[in-house]
Structure 1
């Protein structure tokens, strides 16, 4: 079954990927110098922090590419299953700061 997944690397960075076999892929990330991604090879061990299965590998791959473009904060919201935070984290940083300042002024 096709998966999109996120692993946390030993340097606390995230790697996003997609695969048919998540258990085999995690093993590759942690043990194989030939099959694991170059990025994770230098950042072992890695630990699975989020995954979702899809009906088609094409959908898993497209979601992987989408999440790869996300900020760290947005990826962490996905990992926490905090789906309500995702739209706000899609906004540019300047817009997020203005909203936070506006909320602080309204509370104060």
Structure 2
């Protein structure tokens, strides 16, 4: 079965770019070289790959990428840092 990857890049301006690909190495080359001139990252280089995870089902990878895109910056940072305890707390809803 073909592998898929969800990845997070940290851009030179401190922002995060989230993506999904079946060829992580090739996609990183595209990001670093500005292969797609209209891509979010093209004017935010240099880029650093700060997180990736591997999936065997592309539909699950796409769903996970969409989920991560909705997260607050603090939750993304916790994921990048492997701070899974904080992920749990950041996932809780706060009610007034």
Q: TM-score, normalised by structure 2?
A: 0.88
Measure the CA separation in 1 of the matches of 2:23 and 2:16.
Answer: 19
Could you report, residue by residue, the CA deviation over 1:4-63 in whole angstroms, capped at 9, with x for unpaired residues?
A: 0000001011111000010111111110343x6621011011110000000111111110
Partner residue of 1:52? 53
Instruction: Provide structure 1 residue ranges, at least 5 long, that are not aligned to the other structure.
Output: 99-108
Q: Compare the two structures and name the one with the higher helix fraction.
A: 1
Runs of 4+ aligned structure 1 residues displaced above 4 Å come to none
Could you report, residue by residue, the CA deviation over 1:74-98 in whole angstroms, capped at 9, with x for unpaired residues?
A: 0000001111111211235xx39x8
Matched residue pairs, number?
94
Partner residue of 2:88? 87
Structure number, greater radius of gyration: 1
Q: 1:1-108, aligned counterparts within 5 Å?
A: 1-34=3-36, 38-92=39-93, 95=94
The answer to whether the 8 Å contact 1:29/1:37 transfers is: no
Which structure would you say has the larger RCO, counting Cα contacts within 8 Å and 6 or more residues apart? 2
The answer to whether the 8 Å contact 1:3/1:19 transfers is: yes
CA RMSD of aligned residues (A): 1.8
Query: Relative to 1, partners in 2 of residues 1:38 and 1:51: Cα closer, same or farther, differing over 3 Å?
Result: same
